[in-house]
Structure 1
Amino acid sequence: MKSKLFIALMATVGLAVTAFATPATYTADANHTFAQFEYNHLGFSNQTSRFNTVTGTVTIDQAAKKGSADITIDTKSVDTGSSLFNSHIQSEDFLSTTQFPTATFQSNDMIFKGDKPVALKGTLTLKGVSKPVTLNITNFECKKHPMSGVDYCGANAVTKVKRTDFNMGKYAPNVGDDVNILIAIEAARKE
Protein backbone atom coordinates (compact mmCIF):
# COMPACT_ATOMS: atom_id res chain seq x y z
CA MET A 1 0.00 0.00 0.00
CA LYS A 2 2.86 2.37 0.87
CA SER A 3 4.48 1.81 -2.52
CA LYS A 4 1.21 2.63 -4.36
CA LEU A 5 0.81 5.82 -2.31
CA PHE A 6 4.43 6.77 -3.01
CA ILE A 7 3.97 6.16 -6.78
CA ALA A 8 0.75 8.22 -6.81
CA LEU A 9 2.47 11.03 -4.91
CA MET A 10 5.46 11.02 -7.28
CA ALA A 11 3.14 11.06 -10.30
CA THR A 12 1.35 14.11 -8.89
CA VAL A 13 4.65 15.88 -8.27
CA GLY A 14 5.76 14.93 -11.79
CA LEU A 15 2.62 16.48 -13.29
CA ALA A 16 3.16 19.70 -11.33
CA VAL A 17 6.78 19.95 -12.49
CA THR A 18 5.80 19.15 -16.07
CA ALA A 19 3.25 21.99 -16.02
CA PHE A 20 6.13 24.48 -15.85
CA ALA A 21 8.80 22.48 -17.74
CA THR A 22 7.26 22.50 -21.21
CA PRO A 23 6.77 25.55 -23.43
CA ALA A 24 3.76 27.46 -22.18
CA THR A 25 2.11 30.74 -23.14
CA TYR A 26 0.71 33.07 -20.50
CA THR A 27 -1.80 35.89 -21.08
CA ALA A 28 -1.42 39.09 -19.07
CA ASP A 29 -3.96 39.58 -16.28
CA ALA A 30 -5.38 43.06 -16.95
CA ASN A 31 -5.96 43.69 -13.25
CA HIS A 32 -2.36 42.97 -12.23
CA THR A 33 -0.26 44.14 -15.20
CA PHE A 34 0.96 47.72 -15.42
CA ALA A 35 3.78 49.77 -16.88
CA GLN A 36 5.10 52.69 -14.85
CA PHE A 37 7.53 55.38 -15.92
CA GLU A 38 9.63 57.76 -13.87
CA TYR A 39 11.64 60.87 -14.81
CA ASN A 40 13.14 63.87 -13.09
CA HIS A 41 11.04 67.05 -13.22
CA LEU A 42 13.07 70.27 -13.28
CA GLY A 43 15.46 68.89 -10.67
CA PHE A 44 12.72 69.09 -8.03
CA SER A 45 11.43 65.52 -7.88
CA ASN A 46 11.18 62.21 -9.67
CA GLN A 47 7.67 62.00 -11.07
CA THR A 48 6.02 58.57 -11.41
CA SER A 49 3.07 57.80 -13.69
CA ARG A 50 1.64 54.64 -15.20
CA PHE A 51 -0.31 53.15 -18.06
CA ASN A 52 -3.51 51.49 -16.85
CA THR A 53 -4.04 49.22 -19.87
CA VAL A 54 -1.33 46.71 -20.76
CA THR A 55 -2.03 43.50 -22.70
CA GLY A 56 0.07 40.73 -24.13
CA THR A 57 1.53 37.28 -23.86
CA VAL A 58 4.71 35.73 -22.57
CA THR A 59 5.91 32.29 -23.68
CA ILE A 60 8.34 30.41 -21.47
CA ASP A 61 10.19 27.16 -22.13
CA GLN A 62 12.06 26.60 -18.87
CA ALA A 63 13.49 23.26 -20.01
CA ALA A 64 15.11 24.83 -23.10
CA LYS A 65 15.79 28.10 -21.25
CA LYS A 66 14.05 30.15 -23.92
CA GLY A 67 11.16 32.54 -24.03
CA SER A 68 9.46 35.43 -25.76
CA ALA A 69 7.16 38.34 -25.00
CA ASP A 70 4.69 40.42 -26.99
CA ILE A 71 3.36 43.33 -24.92
CA THR A 72 1.11 46.21 -25.99
CA ILE A 73 0.57 49.39 -23.96
CA ASP A 74 -2.46 51.58 -24.60
CA THR A 75 -0.77 55.01 -24.52
CA LYS A 76 -4.15 56.73 -24.04
CA SER A 77 -4.40 54.95 -20.68
CA VAL A 78 -1.58 57.11 -19.24
CA ASP A 79 -2.36 58.06 -15.65
CA THR A 80 -0.33 60.87 -14.10
CA GLY A 81 -2.84 61.57 -11.35
CA SER A 82 -3.95 64.77 -13.12
CA SER A 83 -6.42 64.90 -16.03
CA LEU A 84 -4.78 68.14 -17.25
CA PHE A 85 -1.33 66.55 -17.25
CA ASN A 86 -2.69 63.33 -18.84
CA SER A 87 -3.75 65.47 -21.83
CA HIS A 88 -0.35 67.16 -21.93
CA ILE A 89 1.51 63.81 -21.93
CA GLN A 90 -0.79 62.54 -24.70
CA SER A 91 -0.06 65.59 -26.91
CA GLU A 92 2.28 65.67 -29.91
CA ASP A 93 5.08 66.97 -27.64
CA PHE A 94 5.25 63.59 -25.92
CA LEU A 95 3.24 60.41 -26.65
CA SER A 96 1.19 61.76 -29.58
CA THR A 97 -1.55 59.25 -28.77
CA THR A 98 -3.85 60.29 -31.62
CA GLN A 99 -1.25 59.15 -34.15
CA PHE A 100 0.37 56.45 -31.97
CA PRO A 101 -2.29 54.93 -29.69
CA THR A 102 -0.06 52.02 -28.64
CA ALA A 103 3.51 51.28 -27.63
CA THR A 104 4.87 47.75 -27.97
CA PHE A 105 7.66 45.60 -26.61
CA GLN A 106 8.53 42.44 -28.54
CA SER A 107 11.22 39.94 -27.61
CA ASN A 108 12.35 36.51 -28.76
CA ASP A 109 15.42 36.54 -26.52
CA MET A 110 14.78 35.59 -22.89
CA ILE A 111 18.01 35.26 -20.93
CA PHE A 112 18.16 32.67 -18.14
CA LYS A 113 20.45 32.31 -15.15
CA GLY A 114 19.95 28.83 -13.78
CA ASP A 115 16.25 28.00 -13.93
CA LYS A 116 14.94 31.57 -13.91
CA PRO A 117 14.81 34.26 -16.58
CA VAL A 118 16.82 37.38 -15.70
CA ALA A 119 16.34 39.54 -18.79
CA LEU A 120 14.42 40.02 -22.02
CA LYS A 121 16.22 41.56 -24.99
CA GLY A 122 13.81 43.03 -27.49
CA THR A 123 12.46 46.03 -29.35
CA LEU A 124 10.50 48.88 -27.81
CA THR A 125 8.36 50.83 -30.28
CA LEU A 126 7.18 54.15 -28.94
CA LYS A 127 5.82 57.08 -30.92
CA GLY A 128 6.63 55.20 -34.14
CA VAL A 129 10.32 54.75 -33.24
CA SER A 130 11.76 51.27 -32.61
CA LYS A 131 14.86 50.80 -30.46
CA PRO A 132 16.57 47.79 -28.86
CA VAL A 133 15.88 47.56 -25.13
CA THR A 134 16.81 45.08 -22.42
CA LEU A 135 14.28 44.54 -19.64
CA ASN A 136 16.10 43.31 -16.53
CA ILE A 137 13.88 40.93 -14.57
CA THR A 138 14.10 41.65 -10.84
CA ASN A 139 11.47 39.17 -9.66
CA PHE A 140 10.05 36.04 -11.30
CA GLU A 141 7.73 33.28 -10.09
CA CYS A 142 5.58 30.58 -11.69
CA LYS A 143 3.13 28.52 -9.63
CA LYS A 144 -0.52 27.65 -9.17
CA HIS A 145 -2.57 30.73 -8.38
CA PRO A 146 -3.68 30.26 -4.76
CA MET A 147 -7.24 31.48 -5.45
CA SER A 148 -8.04 30.20 -8.95
CA GLY A 149 -5.81 27.12 -9.12
CA VAL A 150 -4.67 28.19 -12.61
CA ASP A 151 -0.98 28.10 -13.55
CA TYR A 152 0.35 31.66 -13.27
CA CYS A 153 3.65 33.44 -13.82
CA GLY A 154 4.51 36.86 -12.50
CA ALA A 155 7.48 39.16 -12.84
CA ASN A 156 8.84 42.64 -12.35
CA ALA A 157 11.23 44.15 -14.88
CA VAL A 158 13.03 47.46 -15.32
CA THR A 159 14.85 49.36 -18.04
CA LYS A 160 16.00 52.91 -18.77
CA VAL A 161 15.49 54.79 -22.04
CA LYS A 162 16.08 58.32 -23.28
CA ARG A 163 13.05 60.38 -24.31
CA THR A 164 15.07 62.05 -27.05
CA ASP A 165 15.62 58.63 -28.71
CA PHE A 166 11.85 58.40 -29.22
CA ASN A 167 11.17 61.95 -30.50
CA MET A 168 9.86 63.10 -27.12
CA GLY A 169 12.61 65.53 -26.13
CA LYS A 170 10.42 68.53 -25.28
CA TYR A 171 11.93 70.51 -22.35
CA ALA A 172 15.05 68.30 -22.14
CA PRO A 173 17.37 68.55 -20.30
CA ASN A 174 15.34 70.55 -17.74
CA VAL A 175 12.81 67.73 -17.66
CA GLY A 176 15.00 64.63 -17.45
CA ASP A 177 15.85 62.81 -20.64
CA ASP A 178 16.34 59.52 -18.78
CA VAL A 179 13.12 57.61 -18.18
CA ASN A 180 12.97 54.53 -15.95
CA ILE A 181 10.33 52.04 -17.07
CA LEU A 182 9.03 49.54 -14.53
CA ILE A 183 6.81 46.63 -15.56
CA ALA A 184 4.71 44.49 -13.24
CA ILE A 185 3.04 41.50 -14.90
CA GLU A 186 0.95 38.59 -13.73
CA ALA A 187 -0.23 36.18 -16.41
CA ALA A 188 -2.43 33.09 -16.63
CA ARG A 189 -1.44 30.04 -18.65
CA LYS A 190 -3.42 29.64 -21.87
CA GLU A 191 -5.05 26.25 -22.22
Structure 2
Amino acid sequence: MTTLTDLQGTYTIDPAHSRLGFVARHAMVTKVRGSFTEFEGAARTETGLENAAIELTAQVASIDTRNADRDGHLRTNDFFDAERFPTIEFRSTDVTAADDDTLRVTGDLTLKGVTKPVTIDFEYGGQARDPYGNERIGFDGATTIDRSDFGITFNAALETGGVLVSDKIRLEFEVSAVKNA
Protein backbone atom coordinates (compact mmCIF):
# COMPACT_ATOMS: atom_id res chain seq x y z
CA MET A 1 0.00 0.00 0.00
CA THR A 2 1.19 3.51 -0.82
CA THR A 3 1.95 5.50 2.34
CA LEU A 4 1.85 9.24 3.04
CA THR A 5 5.62 9.46 2.64
CA ASP A 6 5.52 7.76 -0.79
CA LEU A 7 3.30 10.40 -2.41
CA GLN A 8 5.19 13.00 -4.42
CA GLY A 9 4.28 15.61 -7.02
CA THR A 10 1.31 17.93 -7.41
CA TYR A 11 -2.19 16.70 -6.68
CA THR A 12 -5.20 18.76 -7.76
CA ILE A 13 -8.55 18.42 -6.03
CA ASP A 14 -11.25 16.93 -8.25
CA PRO A 15 -14.35 18.95 -7.25
CA ALA A 16 -16.68 16.50 -9.05
CA HIS A 17 -15.62 13.79 -6.58
CA SER A 18 -14.96 15.92 -3.48
CA ARG A 19 -17.06 17.80 -0.92
CA LEU A 20 -16.30 20.90 1.12
CA GLY A 21 -19.04 21.08 3.72
CA PHE A 22 -20.12 22.42 7.09
CA VAL A 23 -22.56 21.63 9.88
CA ALA A 24 -24.21 24.14 12.23
CA ARG A 25 -26.73 23.66 15.04
CA HIS A 26 -30.05 25.36 14.25
CA ALA A 27 -32.52 26.47 16.94
CA MET A 28 -30.57 24.33 19.40
CA VAL A 29 -32.51 21.24 18.27
CA THR A 30 -31.13 20.08 14.94
CA LYS A 31 -28.21 20.34 12.54
CA VAL A 32 -28.17 22.11 9.19
CA ARG A 33 -25.65 20.84 6.64
CA GLY A 34 -24.32 22.72 3.68
CA SER A 35 -21.49 22.78 1.20
CA PHE A 36 -19.66 24.95 -1.27
CA THR A 37 -20.12 23.65 -4.81
CA GLU A 38 -17.36 25.71 -6.44
CA PHE A 39 -13.84 25.26 -5.07
CA GLU A 40 -10.33 24.40 -6.15
CA GLY A 41 -7.15 23.34 -4.44
CA ALA A 42 -3.91 21.49 -4.70
CA ALA A 43 -1.12 19.88 -2.69
CA ARG A 44 2.48 20.18 -3.89
CA THR A 45 5.33 18.09 -2.54
CA GLU A 46 8.66 16.65 -3.54
CA THR A 47 9.19 14.50 -0.45
CA GLY A 48 5.89 12.86 0.47
CA LEU A 49 2.81 14.64 1.74
CA GLU A 50 4.56 15.60 4.95
CA ASN A 51 5.74 19.19 4.42
CA ALA A 52 3.42 19.59 1.42
CA ALA A 53 2.14 23.03 0.43
CA ILE A 54 -1.65 22.78 0.45
CA GLU A 55 -4.05 25.47 -0.70
CA LEU A 56 -7.81 25.64 -1.12
CA THR A 57 -10.15 28.37 -2.36
CA ALA A 58 -13.96 28.18 -2.20
CA GLN A 59 -16.41 30.57 -3.83
CA VAL A 60 -18.78 31.89 -1.14
CA ALA A 61 -21.58 32.48 -3.67
CA SER A 62 -21.67 28.72 -4.32
CA ILE A 63 -22.97 27.98 -0.81
CA ASP A 64 -25.73 25.35 -0.90
CA THR A 65 -27.83 24.30 2.10
CA ARG A 66 -30.71 23.04 -0.07
CA ASN A 67 -32.77 26.12 0.86
CA ALA A 68 -32.57 29.14 -1.47
CA ASP A 69 -33.77 31.65 1.15
CA ARG A 70 -31.21 30.46 3.71
CA ASP A 71 -28.44 30.43 1.08
CA GLY A 72 -29.32 34.01 0.14
CA HIS A 73 -29.19 35.08 3.79
CA LEU A 74 -25.81 33.34 4.27
CA ARG A 75 -24.41 35.38 1.35
CA THR A 76 -25.33 38.69 3.06
CA ASN A 77 -23.27 40.72 5.52
CA ASP A 78 -25.08 38.92 8.39
CA PHE A 79 -22.87 35.94 7.58
CA PHE A 80 -20.29 35.72 4.75
CA ASP A 81 -20.76 39.06 2.92
CA ALA A 82 -20.08 37.35 -0.41
CA GLU A 83 -20.05 40.63 -2.32
CA ARG A 84 -17.10 42.05 -0.32
CA PHE A 85 -15.43 38.71 0.50
CA PRO A 86 -16.13 36.37 -2.44
CA THR A 87 -13.75 33.58 -1.38
CA ILE A 88 -12.83 31.43 1.58
CA GLU A 89 -9.15 30.53 1.53
CA PHE A 90 -6.89 28.07 3.28
CA ARG A 91 -3.07 27.90 3.04
CA SER A 92 -1.08 25.29 4.95
CA THR A 93 1.75 26.34 7.24
CA ASP A 94 2.68 22.89 8.58
CA VAL A 95 1.89 19.38 7.36
CA THR A 96 2.97 16.30 9.32
CA ALA A 97 2.01 12.65 9.57
CA ALA A 98 0.22 12.15 12.91
CA ASP A 99 0.44 8.40 12.24
CA ASP A 100 0.57 6.03 9.24
CA ASP A 101 -2.96 6.97 8.11
CA THR A 102 -3.43 10.54 9.36
CA LEU A 103 -2.13 13.75 7.89
CA ARG A 104 -2.22 16.69 10.33
CA VAL A 105 -2.57 19.93 8.39
CA THR A 106 -2.19 23.30 10.13
CA GLY A 107 -2.74 26.47 8.19
CA ASP A 108 -4.35 29.86 7.85
CA LEU A 109 -8.10 29.94 7.20
CA THR A 110 -9.51 33.22 5.88
CA LEU A 111 -13.26 33.86 6.21
CA LYS A 112 -14.88 37.26 5.74
CA GLY A 113 -11.46 38.95 5.65
CA VAL A 114 -10.28 37.46 8.96
CA THR A 115 -7.40 34.97 9.03
CA LYS A 116 -6.96 32.49 11.89
CA PRO A 117 -4.91 29.30 12.29
CA VAL A 118 -6.72 25.95 12.21
CA THR A 119 -5.60 22.33 12.38
CA ILE A 120 -7.34 19.57 10.46
CA ASP A 121 -6.63 15.85 10.79
CA PHE A 122 -7.14 14.05 7.48
CA GLU A 123 -7.56 10.29 7.33
CA TYR A 124 -5.78 8.87 4.30
CA GLY A 125 -8.24 6.85 2.21
CA GLY A 126 -5.61 5.39 -0.08
CA GLN A 127 -4.38 5.65 -3.65
CA ALA A 128 -5.79 4.11 -6.83
CA ARG A 129 -5.50 4.38 -10.59
CA ASP A 130 -8.88 5.20 -12.13
CA PRO A 131 -10.14 3.77 -15.48
CA TYR A 132 -8.75 6.84 -17.27
CA GLY A 133 -5.20 6.27 -16.05
CA ASN A 134 -5.26 9.01 -13.38
CA GLU A 135 -3.53 8.41 -10.08
CA ARG A 136 -6.00 9.42 -7.34
CA ILE A 137 -5.61 9.86 -3.61
CA GLY A 138 -8.37 10.31 -1.06
CA PHE A 139 -8.66 12.01 2.32
CA ASP A 140 -11.46 12.75 4.80
CA GLY A 141 -11.04 15.38 7.49
CA ALA A 142 -12.91 17.66 9.84
CA THR A 143 -12.35 20.43 12.35
CA THR A 144 -14.51 22.75 14.41
CA ILE A 145 -14.24 26.53 14.41
CA ASP A 146 -16.02 29.34 16.25
CA ARG A 147 -17.62 31.49 13.56
CA SER A 148 -17.45 34.54 15.85
CA ASP A 149 -13.64 34.34 15.63
CA PHE A 150 -14.08 35.29 11.97
CA GLY A 151 -16.51 38.15 12.56
CA ILE A 152 -19.59 36.07 11.68
CA THR A 153 -21.79 36.96 14.65
CA PHE A 154 -25.42 37.20 13.45
CA ASN A 155 -27.84 35.44 15.77
CA ALA A 156 -31.27 35.61 17.36
CA ALA A 157 -32.27 34.65 20.90
CA LEU A 158 -34.90 31.95 21.27
CA GLU A 159 -37.85 32.25 23.65
CA THR A 160 -36.97 28.85 25.10
CA GLY A 161 -33.35 29.87 25.68
CA GLY A 162 -30.33 29.52 23.49
CA VAL A 163 -29.79 30.99 20.07
CA LEU A 164 -30.87 30.37 16.49
CA VAL A 165 -27.41 29.44 15.08
CA SER A 166 -24.53 27.80 16.94
CA ASP A 167 -21.20 29.58 17.17
CA LYS A 168 -19.38 26.28 16.72
CA ILE A 169 -19.30 25.16 13.10
CA ARG A 170 -17.94 21.80 11.97
CA LEU A 171 -15.99 21.97 8.70
CA GLU A 172 -15.91 18.72 6.70
CA PHE A 173 -13.60 17.78 3.84
CA GLU A 174 -13.98 14.76 1.57
CA VAL A 175 -11.19 15.01 -0.98
CA SER A 176 -10.34 13.10 -4.12
CA ALA A 177 -7.23 14.53 -5.76
CA VAL A 178 -5.58 13.63 -9.06
CA LYS A 179 -1.82 13.63 -9.59
CA ASN A 180 -0.79 16.07 -12.28
CA ALA A 181 1.15 14.64 -15.22
Q: Same fold (TM over 0.5)?
A: yes
| 1:178 counterpart residue number | 168
Q: Choose 123-132 or 168-177, whichever is displaced more.
A: 168-177
Over residues 87-136 of structure 1, what are the superposed CA-to-partner deviations in whole Å (9 max), with x where a residue is unaligned?
00000000100001100111041111454442100010000000000011
CA distance in 2, matches of 1:118, 1:21: 13
**Alpha-carbon distance between aligned partners in 2 of 1:64 and 1:56, rounded to the nearest angstrom:** 15
CA offset at residue 184 of structure 1? 1.1
Q: Secondary structure of 1:103's match?
A: strand
Matched pairs, number: 173
Is the 8 Å Cα contact of residues 53 and 74 (structure 1) preserved in structure 2? yes
Aligned pair 1:159/2:143, yes or no?
yes
Q: Provide the rounded CA distance (Å) in 2 between the counterparts of 1:99 and 1:42.
A: 28
| TM-score, structure 2 as length reference | 0.87
CA-atom RMSD in angstroms: 2.1
Q: Quote the offset at 1:139 in angstroms.
A: 3.8
- Which residue number corresponds to residue 159 of structure 2? none
Counterpart-to-counterpart distance in 1, 2:96 and 2:46: 11
Unmatched 5+ stretches in structure 1: 1-15
Bigger share in helix:
1
Corresponding residue to 1:71 among 42, 51, 56: 56
Rg larger in structure: 1
Structure 2's unaligned 5+ residue stretches are 157-161
Identical-residue share of aligned pairs (%): 25
Residue 48 of structure 1: aligned partner = 33
Looking at structure 2, the residues matched to 144 and 89 of structure 1 have their Cα atoms a distance apart, in angstroms, of: 38
TM-score by length of 1: 0.83
1:78/1:56 CA distance change after superposition, 3 Å:
same
CA 1:63/1:128 → structure 2, altered by over 3 Å: closer, same or farther? closer
Aligned CA distance change for structure 1 residues 64 and 166 (closer, same or farther; 3 Å): closer
Answer yes or no: is the 8 Å Cα contact 2:61–2:82 preserved in 1. Answer: yes
d(CA) in 1 for partners of 2:100 and 2:51?
10
Task: State how far apart, in whole Å, the 2-side matches of 1:155 and 1:186 are.
Answer: 7
